[in-house]
Structures are given as structure tokens and as C-alpha cells.
Structure 1
């Protein structure tokens, strides 16, 4: 289970299915970014972070749930309709939102102590979304199962996460350095939407690893 092989396979899948992922997820990603932009322009800066977190809990479970269902279907050779995927993601939204809220609180709690505990919690919870969406586990059960499933794979997962997040962080930093400080509303929306969409690649990478580990743990 070489991290570079997982990244290569995930990139190949992402490129082949880019059009489908764009039409499935990008509209919701743009709506999320638009909502955050409108809030940041009207609310007090101290309250903006809280409301942005709530907006994330509204939209993130929808497009991520739909993406996970799409990844599972395509891995089996199926091509489900976007409407069915979004409808299924909408049904999963209540439990997915609870999982996202709990995971965010745990990760933020870890980060408030030191950076490393936050990263450790993030890695241990990395499969909880797939377990909830694809295995039907409740939020707490999915979190516990993810803690168990990641045992012995921490370094591989961390390597894959860093290989994705570091280049994206560099690109995002360059974009804010190159673009004018006072960006237009449309330009700022485009940058935020593009950044959020590209971060979905980590879901593709983690799905690939999730499936490989799941295959290893199945009884022969």
C-alpha cells in the first residue's frame, strides 16, 4: 500500500471523472463560498468565523456525501444520476452534519492543545465519513470504527494528506500573493470556490485508501 501509488491512482481517477465531479459538487461548493462571502461582508469579523462554520455544516455534508456515493458507484462500474446522488446525500445530511460537527470540535480541541494532537485526531477520524455514508454507521460508531481502522496506517495516511494539502496550500498562498489585495467580489468568490473544490481531491485519495484497508480486513 504505497502512498505514491495511491496518489497516482487517485489522480488518474480524478482526472478521468473530473467533468462528473464538477457537475456534481461545484454548484454546492460555489453556493457555500458565496454564502460565506456575503456573510463576511455584512457581519462583524468576530462573528464571521462562527457563522462560516455553520455554513460549512450546511453544505459540506451534501457535496461530500454525494461525492463519496459517486466514488463508491464508479468503483463498481456504475454511473448513477446526479439527482439520485444528491437525493441520497440529502437523506444522509442530518447524521453527516452531526459527524462533521463532532469531528470539527475534536480536531479544534486537539489543535488548541498543540498542533500534533489536532493532526492525530484528524488522521484517526479520516475514515468516519466513509463508514457513515457507505456502511450506515451512526456518527459515534463511525468515529470509533475509524479509530480502529486507521490503526497501523497512520504514517501512510499522513503522507497522503501532506502530499495533497501542502501543494494546495502553496497554490492558495501564491494566488493571494499574486492577486490584488482588494479583490473584486467575483474574483474572491472564484478563488475560494476553486480552492474548496480542489480540496475534494483528498476525499478521492482517502476513499482509495479506505477501500484498500477495508479489503485487507475482510475475512478470506
Structure 2
């Protein structure tokens, strides 16, 4: 188990199922971006980060939870429709939203100490969403179990996460400088397009971490890896 093989397997799944993933998640990502633009329009550019975070908590749990359920179904040989997956995701939304809020607070707490503690927390809670969705743990139990399950795999998880997210973040920053200079107000359609595109690309990290989760989990969870992403 190494970073390159995990990235290769995850990219193979992501690229082959991109249409299904886009149909499942892209509408929610676009709605999230549109909602943030609306909040900024109504409250001004000085909108508090907490208000933007609350907007994200409405949509993020839905499309991430749906993607995790879709990944699990595909790994078991099923091919559910977007409607079926979303129907299973909706009851999980309150717990996923609470988990996302707790995880964000932990990362902010780590960032208040220094950058490295924030990165450490981000890696240690990487499996929490999968534990909640696939094992049915409560948010607090999922966080606690993620800390245990990631033990001994820190560098592997950090390498996988940075290999996916760093290029996306760099590309996003470069495009922002190129097309959204500070002295001009970018067109909302341009912002919506960029946000949706990069939001869809960042879902690759969810696929990569799902692969890591299945490899790092006990045999009862990863008993059948054939066909997994």
C-alpha cells in the first residue's frame, strides 16, 4: 500500500465514473456556490466567515455523503441511481452536518496554534465521514474512531491528500489571479463556473480517502476489495 498505487486506483475509478459523480454531486455543488454568492450579495463582501461556513454546512454533507454511499455501492458491485443515493443521504444530513461543524472547529483550533497542528487534525479526522456513513457511528464516536484508525497511517494519508489537493489549490489560485483580479468584480457566472469545477475536482480527494479507508479498515469492513475504487 503506497501513495502512487492508491492515487492510480482512485483516479481510474473517478475518471471512469465522472459522469455519474457529476450528475450526483455537481448540482449540489453549484447550489452551494450560488447560495454563497447570494449571501455575499445581500450582506456585502465583508460577510463573516461563520456565515459562509453555515451556508456550506447545508450542502457539503449532502454531496459528500451521497458520494460516499455511491462509492460503497459501486465497490459492492451495485450501480444505484442518483435519486436512490440521495434518498439514502437525506436522513444522514443532520449527523453529517454536525460532524462537519465539529471537524471544522477542530481544524480551526489547530490552526490557532499553528499550521502543523491544523494539518495533523485534518489527517486524523480523515475517516470520520466514512465511519459515520458506512458504520453508522455518531459524530463524536466517528471522530474518536478516526483518530484510532488513522494511527500508523499518517504519512500515507497526508501524502494522498496533498497529492490531490495541492495541485487543485494552486490551479484555483492561478485562475483567480488570471480571471478575477482584485480591482475588478468578476461576473457571478464566472465565479459559479469556477467554484463548481473545482468543487467537482476536489471530490477526487473523497475517492482517494475512501480507498485509504477500505485498505486501513479491519477485514470486516474491507472484506471484498475487488472492484473498489
TM class by shorter-chain length?
A: over 0.9
Report what 1:62 is aligned to.
Answer: 62
For the Cα contact (< 8 Å) 1:40–1:48, is it kept in 2?
no
Distance 1:98 1:36 in 2: 19
| 1:146-165 correspondence runs (5 A) | 146-165=146-165
Equivalent residue of 1:200, what SS?
A: helix
Report what 1:185 is aligned to.
Answer: 188
Distance 1:126 1:154 in 2: 10
How far 1:174 moved relative to its partner?
A: 1.5
- TM-score (normalizing by structure 1): 0.96
How far 1:45 moved relative to its partner?
A: 3.7
Report the CA distance shift for 1:177/1:44 in structure 2 as closer, same or farther (over 3 A): closer
Report what 1:119 is aligned to.
Answer: 119
How many aligned positions are there? 220
Equivalent residue of 2:41, what SS?
A: helix
- TM-score (normalizing by structure 2): 0.92
Q: What per-residue deviation string (whole Å, max 9, x for no partner) do you get for residues 92-123 of structure 1?
A: 00111111111110111100110011111110
How far 1:216 moved relative to its partner?
A: 5.4
Q: 1:210 aligns with which of 209, 213, 226?
A: 213
Distance 1:190 1:70 in 2: 24
**Structure 1 unpaired stretches of 5+:** none
Report the CA distance shift for 1:61/1:218 in structure 2 as closer, same or farther (over 3 A): closer
How far 1:170 moved relative to its partner?
A: 1.3
Report what 1:49 is aligned to.
Answer: 49
**Structure 2 unpaired stretches of 5+:** 224-229
More helix by share: 1
Distance 1:111 1:65 in 2: 26
Equivalent residue of 1:7, what SS?
A: helix
For the Cα contact (< 8 Å) 1:68–1:207, is it kept in 2?
yes
Distance 2:2 2:77 in 1: 24
Q: What per-residue deviation string (whole Å, max 9, x for no partner) do you get for residues 1-46 of structure 1?
A: 1111000100000000000000000000000000001111221444
| 1:71-220 correspondence runs (5 A) | 71-181=71-181, 182=184, 183-215=186-218
Report the CA distance shift for 1:34/1:165 in structure 2 as closer, same or farther (over 3 A): same
Stretch deviating more after TM superposition (75-84 or 37-46): 37-46
Q: What per-residue deviation string (whole Å, max 9, x for no partner) do you get for residues 169-196 of structure 1?
A: 1110121122142321101110111111
Q: What per-residue deviation string (whole Å, max 9, x for no partner) do you get for residues 150-171 of structure 1?
A: 0000000000011011100111
Stretch deviating more after TM superposition (6-15 or 193-202): 193-202
For the Cα contact (< 8 Å) 2:214–2:222, is it kept in 1?
no
For the Cα contact (< 8 Å) 1:25–1:63, is it kept in 2?
yes
Structure 2 residue 50 is matched with structure 1 residue 32: no
